[in-house]
Amino acid sequence: MLGGAGEGVGVSVMKLLPGVVVYGVRYCAYTQAQRTIHSHSQIDGLRAGDWELLTEPGPASGLLYDTFTD
């Protein structure tokens, strides 16, 4: 992973995709993630689903990552 301004972007990818190694982050890289919020009832309140990374690696996102294998 490259340090500097893109370090947080790389960390977010590794947090959202366990087993992924980030090996390149451009200066203007970005990530997009989403999760579903469910409303069950007024008693139970809101429940949040798991985060899903929407960003694909490549030139458009400025990210280079791959799965880690032994």
First to last CA, the chain: 18
Q: With cut-offs at 50, 70 and 90, classify the pLDDT of residue 1.
A: very low
Fill in the amino acid letter for 24.
Answer: G
Q: What pLDDT shows up at residue 36?
A: 92
Look at 35 and 8; give whichever has higher pLDDT. Answer: 35
> pLDDT digit string (tens) for 28-64?
788 888 999 988 777 778 888 998 888 888 888 888 8
* pLDDT at residue 4 tops 70: no
pLDDT tier, 5 (very low <50, low <70, confident <90, very high otherwise): low
Contacts of 49 (CB under 8 A, 6+ apart): 35, 36, 37, 38
